[in-house]
Amino acid sequence: MDLTQLTAHELSDLLARRETSAVELVKAFSDRIDQVEENVKAFNILTRDKALEQAAKLDDKLARGEKPGPLEGIPMALKDNMCTKGVPTTCSSKILKSFVPPYNATVVERLAQAGSIMLGKLNLDEFAMGSSTENSAFAKTRNPWDLERVPGGSSGGAVASVSADEVVFALGSDTGGSIRQPAAFCGVVGLKPTYGYVSRFGLIAFASSLDQIGTLTKDVTDCALVMNVIAGHDPKDSTSAPVDKPDFTKSLINDIKGMRIGIPREYFGVGIDPEVDKVIRQAIAKLEELGAVVEECSLPHTEYAMPTYYLIAPAECSSNLARYDGVRYGYRAPESGDVVGMFKKSRAEGFGPEVKRRIMLGTYALSSGYYDAYYLKALKVRTLIKQDFDQAFEKFDLLLSPTAPTPAFKFGEKSANPLAMYLSDICTVPANLAGIPAISVPCGFADGLPVGLHLMGKAFDEGTLLRVAYTFEQNTDYHKVKPSLGVK
């Protein structure tokens, strides 16, 4: 039995029956990392020694007859933009290469309390800005399904680590699709929760009104288990919603008879790969066969989502990244003369080209004389986009689209054309602007590459998303297909 191919709930059952140990799990996944990491390049930092220490303590506890919690002893990893006390947190940027936080992000604390075992920190597009993980200052993570292709972004390392069975699950962040788009590219389950459902305390900010931490798992059951741990109000985060957290596993019901699913016609227009369209149509037919009522609908302001996003997100990025000045922490350029020269040189040398591009876009949009014409207008259009969703949800339980318009593309294919790269997130960005939850689940293959089914739900109604995703998963086998990576 290959332990690394099992899900969190399967491994938890083995631990409870004492058919494996936490140390055995850590060693098994460490061996898997040794096998495939040279090809995948998912990790920025490995923390194996700490993981083995934690696993040994847990095994002592289990030896005393205590039962493990659902995620106790389960090896996982974190996107490298979540603060981890005593462990470097780099955002895959030169400017934070040597930064070691003095505290943990709230999600890190909650996973530690649940007994999950961190194996390391995962590569991303620098400061989570990108759709391919080609913008990392350290390495280009590769798609386990085809090493010549990108894993998606910005949570490319997190997704690739789960897809390649280097960890059982990972946490990513999603500002415009950074969990869901790579999940689709690599054939795993990716959930972006409702904005405010999961604490952002300790998440290094890109765009504060859009960023949300979420889950990357091998199946929907694991998604619910991880959400049970990380969701919930946090007084340390002013944007954390004071709402009651349900037991998400109670939504894992294999029955969607009578559920109303809307298909927004705007998501099936120009730019959707014909093979992706075919796979999504087959998935829709499967949901109808399972009893869902499917009907076309319209979200008329969808065409404005990308320009709206690329005004709001860079504006917030410009503000958030102003703190990286070489003074208090992070990279400081040597021999930079006076203090202004030090600011300029440190930022010029510390940030990569995509981060600089977005800072400049955002600074321009916020500048005197342009604020009303660009940023303020974008905020108004964002409200119209949210109203589109509100009206649709008066009729439908959830909405459905492709997660991404194409399967994973090759390295370099879009990096010379920022606009083409930005359009990789055309199906996912609107959910962030509206603050609603959305999930990507594997639903088939186009030219041998995974395709994701994208489900969007009402705010704080993750339960409905999980129910539909679980029902689809239980009646198909796409989530069970693994990339070979040339390893037997």
pLDDT tens digits, one per residue of 60-103:
999 998 999 999 999 999 999 999 999 999 999 999 999 999 99
Tokens of 467: 């129910």
Contact 405, 272 (CB under 8 A): yes
Sort residue 127 into left (φ over 0), alpha (ψ -120 to 50) or beta: left
Residue 465's nearest CA partner among 227, 129, 289 is 227
Count CB atoms within 10 A of the CB of residue 373. Answer: 10
Name the more confident of 290 and 416: 290
Listing from the earlier edge strand, what are the strands of the sheet with 260-264?
43-46, 117-122, 75-79, 169-174, 212-217, 189-192, 438-446, 449-457, 398-402, 260-264, 293-297
Q: At what angle do helices 22-40 and 8-16 cross, to 10 degrees?
A: 150
Number of H helices, E strands in the chain: 15, 11
Residues across the chain = 488
pLDDT for 287? 98
Q: Across residues 168-184, what is the average pLDDT?
A: 98
Tell me the catalytic residues: 79, 154, 178
pLDDT band at 309 (very low <50, low <70, confident <90, very high): very high
pLDDT for 488? 43
Which 3 state secondary structure label does DSSP give 209? coil
* Partners of residue 294 on adjacent β-strands: 261
pLDDT band at 329 (very low <50, low <70, confident <90, very high): confident
Q: Can you give the residue ranges of every domain in the chain?
A: 8-262+394-480
Residue 472's nearest CA partner among 255, 230, 303 is 255
Question: What's the maximum distance between 2 C-alpha atoms anywhere in the chain?
Answer: 70
pLDDT tens digits, one per residue of 37-64:
999 999 999 999 999 999 999 999 999 9
Residue 230, CA distances (Å) to 12, 32, 105, 177, 226 in order: 18, 26, 11, 19, 6
Mean pLDDT of the chain: 96
Count CB atoms within 10 A of the CB of residue 250. Answer: 12
Q: Which contiguous run of DSSP H or E holds residue 109?
A: helix 106-113
Q: At what angle do helices 274-289 and 462-474 cross, to 10 degrees?
A: 90
Res 424 pLDDT > 90: no
Q: Which contiguous run of DSSP H or E holds residue 343?
A: helix 339-350
Locate the DSSP E strands across 280-397: 293-297
Res 377 pLDDT > 90: yes
Query: Using the 8-state DSSP alphabet, how is residue 212 labeled?
Result: E
Count CB atoms within 10 A of the CB of residue 455. Answer: 27
What is d(CA 140, CA 117) in angstroms, rounded to the nearest whole number? 25
Q: At what angle do helices 22-40 and 48-63 cross, to 10 degrees?
A: 160
Its sign, for the CA torsion 462, 314, 408, 200, is negative
Collect all residues with Cβ–Cβ distance below 8 Å to 84 and sequence separation of at least 6.
78, 101, 104, 105, 108, 118, 121
What is d(CA 149, CA 450) in angstroms, rounded to the nearest whole number? 12
pTM exceeds 0.95 for this model: yes
Residue 424, CA distances (Å) to 123, 154, 207, 408, 466 in order: 19, 11, 18, 10, 24
**Phi, psi (rounded to 5 degrees) for 188:** -125, 175
Tokens of 298: 């319209």
Q: Across residues 454-468, what is the average pLDDT?
A: 98
| Percent of residues, the chain, with pLDDT higher than 90 | 93
- Spell out the CATH class of 8-262+394-480: alpha beta
